[in-house]
């Protein structure tokens, strides 16, 4: 079995990351899950959170993602994120704006279902802000 798999992180704007990885922890809607070489095929919705990327040489990178999908195959992982920002570029000002936008989404929701989704999104952002 291979020690790595191909990992790509794609946002609507561009390909943000494309490299071999040893492991990636993905913030799935039903909980975080680790992807390693040989992982069973899975498609999961991604919730707001941090992708923890472990590269073959032991280097680690973190990327904040909001929404999207993770497509897992035994030899590859592709995360299609609605929004992605490397941890090194993530600051409290950017996150504060995301929280403000999410609060507006809660306030403007036209249905209970939309309000609940927006509130869940807001709650995740607040958790991330508290982790910085």
Mean pLDDT along residues 70-97: 89
- The pTM is what? 0.75
**Dihedral, 33, 38, 40, 44 alpha carbons, nearest 10:** 40
Q: Which residues of 20-30 are buried (b: 16+ CB within 10 A; e: fewer)?
A: ebbbbbbbbee
Which of residues 83 and 10 earns the better pLDDT score?
10
Relative to beta strand 5-10, strand 76-86 is parallel
Mean pLDDT along residues 7-35: 94
- What six digits make up the tokens of 130? 């508290």
Number of H helices, E strands in the chain: 2, 8
pLDDT of 38 reads 94
Q: Where are the alpha helices (DSSP H) in 3-111?
A: 92-108
CA distances from 32 to 14, 26, 85, 103, 107 (A): 24, 5, 18, 24, 28
Mean pLDDT along residues 52-78: 93
């Amino acid at each position: 079995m291979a020690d790595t798999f191909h990992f790509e992180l794609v946002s609507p704007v561009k390909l943000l990351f494309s490299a071999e990885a040893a492991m990636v922890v993905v913030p799935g809607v039903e909980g975080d899950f680790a992807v390693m070489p040989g992982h069973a095929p899975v498609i999961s919705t991604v919730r707001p959170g941090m992708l923890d990327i472990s590269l073959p040489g032991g280097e680690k990178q973190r990327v904040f993602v909001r929404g999207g999908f993770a497509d897992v195959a035994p030899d590859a992982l592709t995360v299609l994120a609605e929004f992605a920002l490397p941890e090194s570029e993530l600051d409290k000002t950017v996150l504060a704006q995301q929280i403000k936008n999410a609060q507006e989404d809660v306030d403007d929701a036209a249905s209970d279902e939309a309000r609940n989704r927006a509130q869940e999104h807001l709650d995740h952002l607040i958790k991330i802000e508290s982790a910085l």
